[in-house]
Amino acid sequence: MNILFLIKTLTINGGGAERVIASITSSLSKRSNYNIFLATFDKQDDQFFYKIHDEVKIIKLGIGSVREKTKITESLKRISKLRKLSRAINADLVVGFNSSSYMLLWLSMIGMRIPVISSEHSSFKYFRDNIFQRLFLKFSSLFSTEFTVISESSLRSFPAITRKNMTVICNPIELKGIERADMRLKDSGNIILSVGRLEPEKNHLELIEAFSMVSERLRNWNVRIVGEGKMRDELQERIICYKMTGRILLTGSKRDISKEYLKSKFMVIPSKYEGFGLVVAEALSHGLPVIAFSDCEGVMDLISNENNGIVVDASVNRIKSLSEAIFRLAKDGPLRQNLANKCVPTNGHNLDEITDAWIQLFNSIQKNKND
């Protein structure tokens, strides 16, 4: 079976969906007899951030800029190129990771009788404020053979009409040989960690302001924000504005994210929404308590308030509430250790099990196609 995966880009540093597709396609190429093709719109000389298994056939389509808003002419060229590519490789089915990919895929496959799997990695909040995105989402759900989401909470967030052909396939988490973070305080450099792309939905601006409110009382604590994105300059300006230079560091992306967990004392995820809190699950696996907002879908499935983290009420003075939670967890060592003791790996995210789920989905689609 020839399977074509499509994601907009694999050069964006440290993106969660990018890391997942690299992991899944690599695992499929090693575990199955499928021919796995992985297409992106990156240029030929662009370097991927994550390593892909050698047997995965990489195709860089090089149409338009992956870091700028796509023009209509570029979208039309991409649709045409995808149709030609699917014919050239004799694709049995195609998989689009995220809306920027699967919305083009189902348009590309019209009239070709090639099953389309749309894989969404966010929650419905991503589409809620954009009428055109919601419209394309509805069409995608109608014209896709299968529609996968990455958590039960993400599934519940979508309208009933969209949920009809949705199924949950979780993201894989690497759990082998994981060490646990040390909760004991050091003389200096106690780290509060946040991991996520520097994009509006990750909401790092509120984290910066919240920490600045308690920074004078937490003189031996600092914040590391791991990730890259279009808001870097704005975030850096805000750090300077609050006189937090040297206290809040934008580290860029890290391939070995495990090292960041191990040198931290707890994590703060200020996101407005998540399809599934991949970095939250990884943090918990490293014994790292997590602070998050109560309205962040995809994270609340993982965090239990006062058990393995602190859930901040998002309905009343968000930033002040977040600053109080940060101060409390930084100052209360016994609480931090107690929460850390209850941080355990999340079930259902083993890479082999996730690979099996994709294989079962592919086989089911192929069987229905042949019947």
How many whole angstroms separate alpha carbon 221 and alpha carbon 147?
43
Q: Which band of pLDDT confidence, cut at 50, 70 and 90, is reported for residue 89?
A: very high
Q: Which band of pLDDT confidence, cut at 50, 70 and 90, is reported for residue 345?
A: confident
Q: Which band of pLDDT confidence, cut at 50, 70 and 90, is reported for residue 11?
A: confident
How many whole angstroms separate alpha carbon 17 and alpha carbon 112?
27
**Residue 341 pLDDT greater than 90, yes or no:** yes
Provide CB contacts within 8 A for 164, sequence distance 6+: 141
Closest to 118 (Cα-Cα) out of 145, 84, 136, 139 = 145
CATH numeric code, 2-172+350-370: 3.40.50.2000
Question: Average pLDDT, whole number, for the chain?
Answer: 90
- At 14, is the secondary structure helix, strand, or coil? coil
Q: Which band of pLDDT confidence, cut at 50, 70 and 90, is reported for residue 49?
A: confident
Superfamily of domain 190-341: Glycogen Phosphorylase B; (3.40.50.2000)
Helical H segments across 246-292, by residue range = 258-262, 278-285
201-213 pLDDT, tens digit per residue, is: 999 999 999 999 9
Same fold yes or no, 2-172+350-370 and 190-341: yes
104 bridge partner residues:
none
227 bridge partner residues:
252
166-223 pLDDT, tens digit per residue, is: 999 998 887 666 789 988 877 656 999 999 989 999 999 999 999 999 999 999 999 9
% of the chain residues with pLDDT over 70: 97
- Report the pLDDT value the prediction gives residue 177, as an integer from 0 to 100: 63
- Report the pLDDT value the prediction gives residue 62, as an integer from 0 to 100: 92
Domain range annotation of the chain? 2-172+350-370, 190-341
93-140 pLDDT, tens digit per residue, is: 999 999 989 999 999 999 899 999 999 988 888 888 888 888 888 888
**Residue 370 pLDDT greater than 90, yes or no:** no
- Report the pLDDT value the prediction gives residue 337, as an integer from 0 to 100: 95
CB atoms within 10 A of CB 360: 11
CB atoms within 10 A of CB 31: 14
Closest to 228 (Cα-Cα) out of 260, 195, 197, 256 = 197
How many whole angstroms separate alpha carbon 63 and alpha carbon 75?
9
- Report the pLDDT value the prediction gives residue 148, as an integer from 0 to 100: 94
Average pLDDT over residues 64-73: 82
Least confident segment among 98-112, 186-200, 249-263, 325-339: 186-200
Cα end-to-end span (Å), the chain: 16
222-231 pLDDT, tens digit per residue, is: 999 999 989 9
Predicted TM-score (pTM) of this structure: 0.84
For the chain, how many residues are written?
371
- At 39, is the secondary structure helix, strand, or coil? strand
Per the structure block, which two tokens stand in for 274? 């998540």
